[in-house]
C-alpha cells in the first residue's frame, strides 16, 4: 500500500501559468480532499469529493478546479497561478464522509513568482 501519493513534491510557477497537482490513493477511499497550509493559517479546505463524479467546494476554492473521474485519483488544477497561491498543498483521503481518520499525502510545495 502506497497510501496517498502526490506529485510533484516541489514546483515553481510564474504568475499566470497553469498546472495540475496530482493525487492518488490506493486504499479504495471514497472521500478525498485538497488542503492548503500557510503559516499562521492552519490547513484550509480547497475542494473535496465524496466519490467518483462528485466534487464540491471547500473554504477557499477560488482559482482551483478539481475533478474525480476515478475513485483513486483527485487532481487539483491551478487555472492561472498567482503569488497568493504560494503554499504547501496536501491531498487527503478517508474511508467515507464523516468522522474518519484522514490520510494525508506528503504534500506539494508550490512557489508562484
Partner 1 sequence: RKEVEQDPGPFNVPEGATVAFNCTYSNSASQSFFWYRQDCRKEPKLLMSVYSSGNEDGRFTAQLNRASQYISLLIRDSKLSDSATYLCVVILTGTASKLTFGTGTRLQVTL
- Binding-site ranges for partner 1 (CB under 8 A): 31, 33, 35, 40-45, 48, 50, 56, 58-59, 90, 97-99, 101-102, 104-107
Query: Nearer to partner 1 by C-beta: 14 or 99?
Result: 99
Nearer to partner 1, 36 or 81 (CB): 36
Residue closer to partner 1, measured from CB, 49 or 85 = 49
SS (H, E, C) 32-94: EEEEEEECCCEEEEEEEEEECCEEEECCCCCCEEECCCCCCECCEEECCCCHHHCEEEEEEEE
Task: Determine the Cα–Cα distance for residues 43 and 29; give it in Å rounded to an integer.
Answer: 21
Closest CB 54 distance from partner 1, rounded Å: 11
- Output the smallest distance, CB 91 to partner 1, in A: 9
Least spacing, CB of residue 106 vs partner 1, in Å: 5
6 vs 76: CA distance, rounded Å:
11
Cβ proximity to partner 1, 12 vs 41, nearer residue: 41
> Helix (H, G, I), strand (E, B), or coil: what is residue 29?
coil
Amino acid at each position: 500500500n502506497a497510501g496517498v501519493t502526490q506529485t510533484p513534491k516541489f514546483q515553481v510557477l510564474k504568475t499566470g501559468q497553469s498546472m495540475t497537482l496530482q493525487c492518488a490513493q490506493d486504499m479504495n477511499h471514497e472521500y478525498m480532499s485538497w488542503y492548503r497550509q500557510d503559516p499562521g493559517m492552519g490547513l484550509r479546505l480547497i475542494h473535496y469529493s465524496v466519490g467518483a463524479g462528485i466534487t464540491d467546494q471547500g473554504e477557499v476554492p477560488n482559482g482551483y478546479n478539481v475533478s474525480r473521474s476515478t475513485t483513486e485519483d483527485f487532481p487539483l488544477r491551478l487555472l492561472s497561478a498567482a503569488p497568493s497561491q504560494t503554499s504547501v498543498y496536501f491531498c487527503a483521503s478517508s474511508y467515507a464522509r464523516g468522522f474518519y481518520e484522514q490520510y494525508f499525502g506528503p504534500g506539494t510545495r508550490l512557489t508562484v513568482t
